[in-house]
Structure 1
Amino acid sequence: MTAPVLVCGSMAFDAIALFEGHFGDHILPERIRTLSVSFLVPTLRREFGGCAGNVAYNLKLLGGTPLPVASVGEDATGYLQRLKELGISTAHVKVVPGTLTAQCWITTDLDDNQITAFHPGAMGMSAQNDFGAHTGAVWGVVSPDAKEGMFVHAERMNKLGIPFIFDLGQAMPLFEGADIERMIRLAQVLTANDYEASVIEQRTGRQIADIAKTMQAVIVTRGGEGATLMADGQTIEVPPVQAAAVVDPTGCGDAHRAGLVYGLTQGWNWLDSCRLANVMGSIKIAARGAQNHQPTRGEIDGLLRASYGIGLPA
């Protein structure tokens, strides 16, 4: 068994809708102050999601040992059963009586732009979920969750000496510049997509390259253009992996984090870990939903070898 990874964040049900048009054709910039738009979505699916659930799912595909840390509602019985069937521990998933599991409504247009609404539900109690001091974890991930919960989990890992990846993601509206700076001081790694990186720069008043100087690594994902790795005083462009199809971006960032942290648990360097992360993102985007792709470990290994000339550990 590989070393455990604490995966802190949301577990949610995703309602994913496809708008067969372009948001930009219906949102008038000059009327943005009185915005009132409606999108017909003939395709709608309900999926298992949430950042902790998604990262744990992808980490398990790689042969990792995820320990999701999340708070769910009384309606999560099916989700918990699914995790158990996948061989993923639910020991640190707390069921909060009288609440619903977090719910996310995601509408995607034909340009892969997304409009998301989120109801936190039980996630609002995440700060009360103490994963304890004896998990055996060698790495952690602090992904979008209730703001207080994100800080509590980060402080606990920092106190226990467990290095962790900070993923701001959909929690971005909750974090002011001072909040981001506080989290950066606790974390070893910062991950963000290119838009989130711009927001981080704007809110902190610092360039991402300057932030990278105070951390072990910063990784900025750029969709089909790959990723930018900043570590050890170097900036490296990590080329993308050609996806078999571009179907649904939901959960791609979480798949990327799983590949990154799996590489780190194997003692890989930053570049090879980022390469594996790119592979996982490319696999995910070819499937609808955040947890419906089912590559074998051998298939992941084959794509990693074909793309970068490296392979998964035996």
Structure 2
Amino acid sequence: MHTLICGSIAYDTIMVFQDYFKHHILPDKLHVLNVAFLVPDMRREFGGCAANIAYNLNMLGGNPLMMATVGNDFQPYAHRLEKLNLATTYIQQIDDTFTAQAFITTDLDDNQITAFHPGAMNFSHYNSIKDTVNINLGIIAPDGREGMITHAREFQECGIPFIFDPGQGLPMFSGDDLIDFIEKADYIAVNDYEGQLLQERTQYSLNELADKVEALIVTKGAHGSTIYAEGQQIEISSVKPAAIIDPTGCGDAYRAGLLYGITHSMDWQTTGQLASLLGAIKIAHRGGQNHTFSRNEIDQLYFEAFGNRIF
């Protein structure tokens, strides 16, 4: 059986401006803004929530399948996925589009100016859950709006449990939209900011949201995470990372741990701790897919962090 990961596949172009934006953006001239930044440092990363989650879950020994839409420029990414032994069965190429991509310029204060082009992601509803086989768990990660709505409905119709992970796509939905997602989902995963926004838009408290699903997971960065499940609030401590380099993709790594724990019937404490460990490993590396680990390494790191073995 497989875990189906619905979400984006994207290229991230990251540029570093060796100065401070505040030295070049004049507050009294914002209405006629016209600036250019010399960026001698640039790198291109493979990203997107679906691919980041699948990357981590695959290293854990899970069985991920991605469902995504990509553009005509997908070939370099396809070659990478092939080398990683990640199937492209449910990745559909859309003609005359680009794969989703983010262009991020960062200054020396770690301020960021980002432009995001959704491209083929806007056609995610062209994929159907009903075309899949041997799926026992799914996740809806940030994707095209219509695709997220369609896939939630199809997961429910197919009787496949899934995690609703709205992420940065949450502002696209009204309170009624979000309530509809929640009523269909089996699990919800958000960070603390998204959790606050979810409460404001639905007019439900975290405890009320938790009552509607098997588990509500709220991540809080360096402050760990809280899992609302079985009438309890389970506090998960963060794991001290080897270094703090780049938070990009940490949430996706955490979600891979959730998916693995759920499919292997782990208790919520263990599942959350595994997820927390994956996030700590990721943050010590740039980009969403440049860290590596083996199951043996995870087992040892888990033992060092929590005092017992996981595999």
TM-score of the two chains, using structure 2 as the length reference: 0.91
User: 2:77 and 2:146 mapped to 1: Cα distance?
Assistant: 24
Structure whose alpha-carbon radius of gyration is higher:
2
Question: Match for residue 304 of structure 2?
Answer: 306
Aligned partner of 1:206 among 204, 207, 211: 204
Paired with 2:310 and 2:18, the residues of 1 have a C-alpha distance of 39
Q: 1:61 and 1:74 mapped to 2: Cα distance? A: 28
Alpha carbons of structure 1 residues 37 and 90: separation in structure 2 relative to 1, 3 Å: same
Partner secondary structure for residue 288 of structure 1: coil
The residue that corresponds to 1:225 in the other structure is 223
- Quote the Cα distance in structure 2 between the aligned partners of 1:186 and 1:113: 37
For residue 256 of structure 1, what is the aligned residue in structure 2?
A: 254
Letter in 2 for 1:241: V
Instruction: Tell me the equivalent position of 1:97.
Output: 95
Deviations 1:62-95 (A, max 9, x none): 0111000000011101111211221111100001
* Separation in 2, partners of 1:27, 1:268: 51
1:18 and 1:109 in contact (8 A); partners too: yes
Deviation at 1:105, TM superposition (A): 2.1
Q: CA deviation at 1:130?
A: 1.8
Structure 2 unpaired stretches of 5+: none
- From the superposition, tell whether residues 111 and 158 of structure 1 become closer, same or farther in structure 2 (CA, over 3 Å): farther
- Percent sequence identity is 47
Deviation at 1:278, TM superposition (A): 0.4
- 1:57 equivalent to 2:51? Answer no
Answer whether contact 1:26 1:37 (CA < 8 A) is retained: no
Secondary structure of residue in 1 paired with 2:135: coil
| TM, length-normalised to structure 1 | 0.91
For 2:240, the equivalent position in structure 1 comes to 242
Which of the residues 121, 132, 135 maps onto 2:133?
135
3-state SS in 2 of match to 1:10: coil
Gaps of 5+ in 1: none
1:296 and 1:26 mapped to 2: Cα distance?
45
Aligned-partner residue type, residue 200 of structure 2: Q
AA matched with 1:201: Q
User: Cα offset for 1:25?
Assistant: 9.0
CA positional deviation for 1:131: 3.8
How far apart, in 1, do the equivalents of 2:302 and 2:219 lie?
A: 18
Structure 2 distance, partners of 1:163, 1:146, is 20
